[in-house]
């Protein structure tokens, strides 16, 4: 069993792979359970939203690794090249999968031409329209974090993590106050964005740039901001229509549990190593996250036993994800590294002269 002791070192951070693996399993469990098993749907509605739990763990992982990656590269062009080849080929393949499924007669909510075009850019959060697949909603907030960190790097403010975390919490509180004067709610996604800065705080501690006691005020602020946002948006225990069956108690439980899982996992698995099965699932997690909604939409229960359908959904998702990780994600990532290396080689003679 391997042990990761240098969070700033070169190579995969295995405890993050394990956390991502656990996160995507929770999201998959939520989608399968909600679709097939009424008792599970009742539990998720009343007590714990496992999908939201998993998503927040993902955001904490992104907050940990993205600033480290950006600062290690120190080149925005290289960072965005890496991100493009890491995210877009697999994402576009999943969009193609939706279009093929539609052509074959699968049922999806109506998708307008504008929605297709905005989803191709992965910027539908800003361009308007819905998400072609429900899980795509997280990608807009992820991209927002990339934009913010890029701007902060240019402004040489990227290492002021405590101040940034406190600012993110303050923005939520001001947004909640401002939304009280209107009929609109501040998006719950703002907490996801602020949470990524919490992940960065953990990275700074692991990297020796901060001590845990230096983060106390930031943690208190994010807790107050998150609770205030939940009370404002879901305090009636009904929530706005676009949140479906989300309720205050299960969302609060999801957010709290996500923080606990991330911090315990980042501590224990970083020192002692993580289960190899979770590490592998974490490597496949992006494909699993993108494919699960499509698999569930295409393979319908009909009159089959629901446990059999669940096994088919999970098995098909994993098989397809392992395949696309090997033949799409891995080659695309390597291609991106090649582009960066060739660019560095071309600029080397100029720098030497």
Q: What is the pLDDT of residues 318-331, one digit of tens each?
A: 999 999 999 999 99
Distance CA 214, CA 201 (A): 10
Q: What is the pLDDT of residue 246?
A: 67
Backbone angles phi, psi at 185, to 5 degrees: -105, 145
Distance CA 317, CA 287 (A): 8
Find where tokens 């939940």 sit.
230
Q: 269-279: string of b/e by CB count within 10 Å (b at 16+)?
A: bbeebbeeebb
Q: What is the pLDDT of residue 245?
A: 57
- Asked if pLDDT for residue 253 goes beyond 70, the answer is yes
pLDDT for 20-30, tens place per residue? 999 999 999 99
pLDDT for 279-337, tens place per residue? 999 999 999 999 999 999 999 877 789 999 999 999 999 999 999 999 999 999 999 99
Q: What is the pLDDT of residue 242?
A: 45
Distance CA 188, CA 197 (A): 16
3-state SS of the chain is CCCCCCCCCCCCCHHHHHHHHHHHHHHHHHHHHHHHCHHHHHHHHHCCCHHHHHHHHHHHHHHHHHHHHHHHHCCHHHHHHHHHHHHHHHHHHHHHHHHHHHHCCCCCCCCCHHHHHHHHHCCHHHHCCCCCCHHHHHHHHHHHHHHHHHHHHHCCCCCCHHHHHHHHHHHHHHHHHHHCCCCCCCCCHHHHHHHHHHHHHHHHHHCCCCCHHHHHHHHHHHHHHHHHHHHHHHCCCCCCHHHCCCCHHHHHHHHHHHHHHHHHHHHHHHHHCCCHHHHHHHHCHHHHHHHHHHHHHHCCCCCCCHHHHHHHHHHHHHHHHHHHHHHHHHHHHHHHHHHHHHHHHHHHHHHHC
Rounded to 5°, the CA angle 182-185-191 comes to: 140
Q: What is the pLDDT of residue 234?
A: 87
Distance CA 73, CA 8 (A): 12
Q: How sure is the predictor about 9, in pLDDT bands with cuts at 50, 70 and 90?
A: very low
CB-based contact 314:306 (threshold 8 Å): no
Locate 140 and state its tokens: 């807009």
- Asked if pLDDT for residue 230 goes beyond 70, the answer is yes
- Asked if pLDDT for residue 5 goes beyond 50, the answer is no
Distance CA 61, CA 46 (A): 27
Q: In 3D, which of 86, 197, 89 has the Cα closest to residue 145?
A: 197
In sign, the C-alpha dihedral spanning 188, 260, 160, 142 is negative
The per-residue pLDDT of the chain, averaged, comes to 90
- Asked if pLDDT for residue 36 goes beyond 80, the answer is yes
Contacts of 48 (CB under 8 A, 6+ apart): 250, 253, 254, 257
More confident residue, 284 or 110: 284
């Amino acid at each position: 069993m391997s042990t990761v002791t240098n969070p700033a070192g070169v190579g995969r951070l295995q405890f993050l792979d394990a956390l991502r693996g656990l996160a995507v399993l929770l999201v998959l469990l939520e989608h399968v359970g909600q679709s097939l098993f009424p008792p599970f749907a009742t539990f998720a509605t009343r007590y714990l939203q496992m999908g939201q739990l998993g998503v927040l763990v993902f955001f904490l992982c992104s907050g940990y690794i993205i600033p480290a990656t950006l600062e290690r590269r120190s080149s925005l062009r290289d960072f965005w090249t890496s991100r493009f080849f890491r995210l877009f080929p697999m994402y576009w393949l999943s969009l193609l999968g939706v279009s093929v499924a539609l052509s074959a007669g699968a049922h999806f909510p109506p998708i307008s031409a504008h929605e297709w075009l905005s989803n191709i850019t992965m910027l539908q959060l800003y361009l308007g329209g819905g998400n072609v697949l429900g899980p795509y909603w997280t990608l807009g907030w992820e991209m927002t974090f990339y934009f913010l960190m890029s701007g902060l790097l240019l402004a040489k403010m990227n290492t002021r993590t405590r101040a940034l975390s406190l600012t993110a919490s303050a923005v939520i509180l001001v947004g909640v106050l401002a939304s009280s004067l209107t009929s609109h709610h501040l998006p719950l996604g703002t907490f996801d964005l602020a949470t990524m800065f919490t992940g960065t705080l953990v990275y700074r501690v692991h990297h020796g740039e901060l001590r845990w006691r230096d983060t106390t005020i930031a943690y208190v602020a994010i807790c107050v901001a998150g609770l205030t946002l939940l009370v404002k948006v879901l305090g009636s225990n009904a929530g706005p229509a676009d949140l479906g069956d989300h309720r205050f108690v299960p969302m609060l439980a999801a957010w709290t549990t996500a923080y606990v899982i991330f911090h315990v996992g980042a501590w224990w698995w970083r020192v002692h190593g993580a289960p190899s099965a979770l590490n592998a699932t974490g490597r496949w997690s992006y494909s699993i996250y993108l494919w699960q909604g499509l698999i569930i939409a295409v393979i319908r229960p009909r009159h089959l036993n629901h446990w059999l359908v669940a096994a088919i959904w999970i098995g098909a998702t994993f098989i397809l994800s392992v395949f696309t990780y090997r033949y799409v994600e891995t080659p695309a990532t390597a291609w991106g590294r090649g582009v960066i290396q060739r660019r560095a080689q071309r600029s080397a003679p100029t720098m030497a002269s």
